[in-house]
């Protein structure tokens, strides 16, 4: 099988965009929610506003041009075609970095941070903090293949290691949030000598019964966020972990349905004072939705939960680990809990702002966390 790295140019046929607009115009709406606010999901007026903007004002070609300008590629690894962005730094001693998104994210989350990470001098930073950045689309996501067989987190981690070596990087680091945190952790636990360390901005370190009994006031706050997630916030995960195929039929057929399945999470998981438009533009949110709608990945992206959700926190990482815990992450953790899974934490910080989509919401803070986290690993 070929190891070729093939340039990839996005050019979605206009007929597909016409079909999208026609589907949006024919949306069959439900009745209004019976409460005020987002308690039952996306309010009808907010859903209509997003669909109207998408149909009348949104410009996919602008996002397409940004992605094409950065440098997109595909290569086949372990039988699957993998799409990725690859931006080399002008600094010769830059540290190679693979960044992995999660659900409902995509590579567009990182468009605002690739420049400062690869060329810090051009963005007011220290050139010694430069990275060569590789940002793949997970299998079943974006413009990577939708596998016809299982691709759990460990297989993805092995593929990313192969990808970095194929690009000529003999020593590299890994970063991620959401599923990217699980992939980065699996890379760190792989034992491959090319891996120098990892940085995670979603810290999944479940407390033991003893931890719960001896919880500090700070840890009690983290337990409260975890309890809220388990009681009121994880329905999407249970659905995707148990019946991803059933879910996929509706979301693959209805752009409004696909959009609201994602839009709700930008509101719920962002540090946005209750309105995602406080931290993201409507176009940015739709850019991300488009990376699910255009390739039709509703079922294949959900399937990762079916394959790996029960092993999300399985990997123990002995290598150096950097942790950034943003205040509006889905649930909290404590360093004490994290150190059982990551016994060699070399950097721990809790920034003042930001949520689950840190690179998207707070790109400057995210860049500083990545730079600071990896300085001990250079």
User: What are the residues whose beta carbons fall under 8 Å from the beta carbon of 226, sequence distance 6 or more?
Assistant: 331, 332
* pLDDT on residue 332: 87
CB 317 within 8 Å of CB 195: no
pLDDT tens column, 255-312: 999 999 999 999 999 999 999 999 999 999 999 999 999 999 999 999 999 999 988 8
Could you tell me the two tokens for 59? Answer: 């410009």
Tell me the fold of 6-24+38-377. Answer: Rossmann fold (3.40.50)
Alpha helix stretches (DSSP H) within the chain: 14-25, 44-56, 60-70, 114-118, 153-166, 179-188, 209-213, 217-228, 235-242, 244-253, 255-269, 282-293, 298-308, 335-341, 358-361, 363-374
Give which of 73, 88, 77, 61 is closest to 143, Cα–Cα.
73
pLDDT of residue 1: 57
Count each helix (H run) and each strand (E run) in the chain, helices first. 16, 9
Task: Measure the CA–CA gap between 354 and 362, rounded to whole angstroms.
Answer: 6
> What is the pTM assigned to this prediction?
0.97
Q: What residues of the chain score a pLDDT lower than 50? A: none
Interatomic CA distance for residues 328 and 177, integer angstroms: 13
């Amino acid at each position: 099988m070929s190891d070729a790295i093939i340039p990839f140019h996005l050019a979605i046929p206009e007929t597909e965009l016409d079909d999208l607009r026609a589907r949006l115009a024919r949306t069959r709406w439900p009745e209004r929610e019976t409460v005020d606010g987002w308690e039952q999901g996306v309010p009808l007026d907010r859903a209509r506003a997003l669909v109207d903007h998408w149909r009348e004002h949104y410009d996919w070609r602008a996002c397409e041009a940004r992605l094409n300008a950065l440098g997109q590629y595909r290569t086949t690894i372990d039988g699957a075609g993998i799409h990725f962005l690859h931006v080399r730094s002008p600094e010769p001693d830059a540290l190679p970095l693979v960044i992995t998104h999660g659900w409902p994210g995509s590579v567009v989350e990182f468009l605002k941070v690739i420049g400062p990470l690869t060329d810090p001098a051009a963005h007011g930073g220290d050139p010694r903090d430069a990275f060569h950045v590789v940002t793949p689309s997970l299998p079943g996501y974006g413009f990577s293949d939708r596998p016809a067989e299982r691709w759990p987190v460990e297989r993805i981690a092995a593929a990313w290691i192969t990808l970095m070596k194929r690009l000529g990087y003999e020593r590299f680091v890994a970063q991620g949030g959401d599923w990217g945190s699980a992939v980065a952790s699996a890379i760190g636990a792989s034992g491959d000598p090319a891996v120098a360390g990892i940085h995670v901005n979603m810290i999944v370190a479940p407390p033991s019964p003893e931890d719960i009994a001896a919880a500090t006031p700070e840890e009690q706050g983290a337990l409260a966020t975890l309890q809220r997630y388990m009681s009121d916030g994880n329905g999407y995960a249970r659905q995707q972990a148990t019946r991803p195929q059933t879910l996929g039929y509706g979301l693959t057929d209805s752009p409004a349905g696909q959009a609201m399945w994602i839009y709700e999470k930008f509101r719920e998981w962002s540090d946005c004072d209750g309105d995602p438009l406080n931290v993201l533009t409507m176009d940015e949110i739709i850019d991300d939705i488009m990376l699910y709608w255009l390739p039709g990945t509703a079922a294949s992206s959900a399937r990762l939960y079916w394959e790996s959700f029960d092993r999300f926190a399985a990997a123990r990482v002995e290598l150096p680990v950097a942790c950034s815990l943003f205040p509006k992450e889905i649930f909290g953790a404590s360093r004490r809990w994290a150190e059982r899974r990551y016994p060699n934490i070399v950097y721990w910080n809790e920034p003042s702002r930001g949520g689950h989509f840190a690179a998207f919401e707070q790109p400057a803070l995210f860049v500083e966390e990545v730079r600071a986290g990896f300085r001990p690993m250079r």
